Structures are given as structure tokens and as C-alpha cells.
Amino acid sequence: MNAMLVAERLQKIVELVSEKGSIRNTELSAIFHVTEETIRRDLYKLEREGKLLRSHGGAVSIREIHTETPFDIREITNIHEKQLIALEAVQHIKPSDRIALDASSTAWYMAKMVPDIAITVLTNSMKVAIELSAKEKIQIISTGGMLSKKSLSFVGPLAERSLDLYHVNKSFISSKGAYLERGISESNELQALIKKKMISIADKTFLLCDFSKFGKQHLTQIADWNQIHHVITDVKTDQKFVEGLQRMSVQVKLVGD
């Protein structure tokens, strides 16, 4: 193929990814009338040049990984609500459970609170893994992958493929947005893809979400409500969201005074 045509396609891919934030291989294949295998080779080349990041089945803009709120900021935001939510979530963990914990600050509070019982924890969070390492009976599996320094968590294709190797009884995840009509969402696609995987490998998924997340939508959808079995939130959450979720057969637990 003409080298100029290839160069133009590569440049256009970078522009599309930067404009949209993320894009799927299937979409790029249709736009440029080439095979998905060709697109995968293009994305591999562009990733090596530092122009984008490959994700499972597509590509993400470099700037997407910088949209995360640093962990130390999340750690001090709505602390009381997050701790109450984490405490309730821990009550659902039983001996011999296999669970997945995401890289949220609420999951970290869970790691601090969970008793030292015989369970297996699969996580992409360095903070969660380190916190659990002091508990002798808990087996910890870290996904590995590309380290996001802001969230101290592993993301990217390697982390996603690692999750595909496992099955868990329960996944505990958080989200930046929870909207009745659109489900749950994240501002960072790399984290969203990890959470999607955690949902797909679990028998049950628990959403841990304080009042501030409801009514908000972010760039990347994680899941529809029919994929969420339990929502644990606090009493400050608007009753219209609680009733809306219950109408969709989602079990909602309110915590707090």
C-alpha cells in the first residue's frame, strides 16, 4: 500500500482518538475500509510512538489516563459516607468467597475493615493489595498491568486479560456517575474497562456509590442497571433514585443516620 496513504490513516486515527477520547477497532475498520487486523497493527505502532493507548478492542487517548482524580483527593472526599458504605459492603463477604475489588477509595476502606478470614481477593489496586497483605488468611491476586500513578492502580490490556482468567462470587465496584436512564459511568475509560471486566466475571455485582454520584453522567458507560444486583449508598441519596432503582429490581441498601 502507498506509504503516504498509511501515514495519512495513522494520523487520522490519532486525530479521531484525541477527538472522541476512545474508539473501537470495529469502528476504525469501517471508517478506513481495512481489516481489524490492520487496525490492530496500526494501533500497536501508534502506541509504541506514544500517540495513544491500546485498550481491549480499541484505543484510548493519552489524555484519558490523566482524567482520574488522584487517590489522596478521593480518600478525603465524603469520608464518612464512604466508610459507612464500606462497612455495610464488608457484611456481604463470607468465608471462602472469591471477590473482586476495584481501585476506588471505598474499596480501600473495605480492605481496611474486612476481617482476616479465608477469602480470595482479586484487585487492580496497589493500595488494596498492600492493605490486605497484613491479613494472613486472605489470598491476594493482583492483576498487574500498566500502573496509573494517580490512582495507584493497574489498567490497560494486560490487566483486562488477567481478569479474564478468573471467576468471582462477588464484585465490589464504584463509579463516578450513576444515572437512572443510562446506568453507571466513569470519566476514565481505562478504569471503566476494568470495572466492566469485574462485572462480567462475577455472579453478583455490588455498586458502592455515595450520594454525590447520583444524577451524574460521565464519558464512558460501565454498565446498565440490569447488570447491577445490589447498590449500597447513603441516606443523603435523593429518594427518586432509590425508588427508580427499586422499580428496576435493584436491591438498595441505605446507610447512615
pLDDT digits (tens, 9 = 90+) for 105-131: 999 999 999 999 999 999 999 999 999
- Read off the pTM: 0.73
Mean pLDDT, rounded, for 47-74:
68
Domain carrying residue 141: 71-255
Q: Do 105 and 162 fall into the same domain?
A: yes
Beta strands per DSSP E along 174-226: 177-179, 183-186, 202-208, 220-223
Picking from 35, 66, 97, the residue at the C-terminal end of a domain is 66
Contact at 8 Å (CB) between 231 and 209? yes
Cα–Cα distance measured from residue 188 to residue 169, given in angstroms and rounded to the nearest whole number: 26
pLDDT for 149 equals 87
| Nearest 10 degrees: Cα torsion 25, 26, 27, 30 | 120
Cα–Cα distance measured from residue 123 to residue 107, given in angstroms and rounded to the nearest whole number: 9
Beta strands per DSSP E along the chain: 22-24, 53-55, 58-60, 98-101, 120-123, 139-142, 146-148, 153-155, 168-173, 177-179, 183-186, 202-208, 220-223, 230-234, 251-255
Task: Say how many domains are in the chain.
Answer: 2
pLDDT for 113 equals 97
pLDDT for 249 equals 95
pLDDT for 65 equals 53
**pLDDT (tens digit per residue) in 66-91:** 555 555 544 445 688 999 999 999 99
Measured over the CA atoms of residue 198, residue 172, residue 131 and residue 105, the dihedral's sign is positive
Mean pLDDT, rounded, for 34-56:
88
Lowest model confidence (mean pLDDT) among 34-43, 56-65, 153-162, 199-208:
56-65
Contact at 8 Å (CB) between 221 and 185? yes
Q: pLDDT-based confidence at 23, cuts 50/70/90? A: confident
pLDDT for 76 equals 46
Q: Do 97 and 149 fall into the same domain?
A: yes
Contact at 8 Å (CB) between 217 and 182? yes
Lowest model confidence (mean pLDDT) among 61-70, 187-196, 199-208:
61-70
Contact at 8 Å (CB) between 237 and 254? yes
pLDDT > 70 fraction of the chain, expressed in percent and rounded? 91
Q: Do 146 and 94 fall into the same domain?
A: yes
Q: Do 100 and 198 fall into the same domain?
A: yes
**pLDDT (tens digit per residue) in 130-184:** 999 999 999 999 999 999 988 899 999 999 999 999 999 999 999 999 999 999 9
Q: Do 95 and 117 fall into the same domain?
A: yes
CA atoms within 13 A on the CB side of 109: 25
Distance of CA 77 to the CA centre of its chain: 19
Q: Do 133 and 239 fall into the same domain?
A: yes
pLDDT at 255 over 70: yes
| Mean pLDDT over the full length of the chain | 90
Report the residue count for the chain. 257
Q: Do 120 and 156 fall into the same domain?
A: yes
φ and ψ of 246, to 5 deg: -65, -35
Cα–Cα distance measured from residue 250 to residue 229, given in angstroms and rounded to the nearest whole number: 6
pLDDT for 64 equals 54
Q: Pick the closest to residue 179 from 200, 207, 151, 155 (CA basis).
A: 207
Cα–Cα distance measured from residue 87 to residue 96, given in angstroms and rounded to the nearest whole number: 19
Q: pLDDT-based confidence at 3, cuts 50/70/90? A: low
Q: Do 50 and 150 fall into the same domain?
A: no
Q: pLDDT-based confidence at 53, cuts 50/70/90? A: confident
Q: Do 79 and 198 fall into the same domain?
A: yes
Cα–Cα distance measured from residue 209 to residue 173, given in angstroms and rounded to the nearest whole number: 9
Mean pLDDT, rounded, for 205-225:
92
Cα–Cα distance measured from residue 94 to residue 118, given in angstroms and rounded to the nearest whole number: 9
pLDDT at 224 over 80: yes
Nearest-Å Rg of the Cα atoms of the chain is 19
Give the H or E element holding residue 56.
Answer: none
Supply 88's cell numbers: 455495610
pLDDT for 138 equals 98
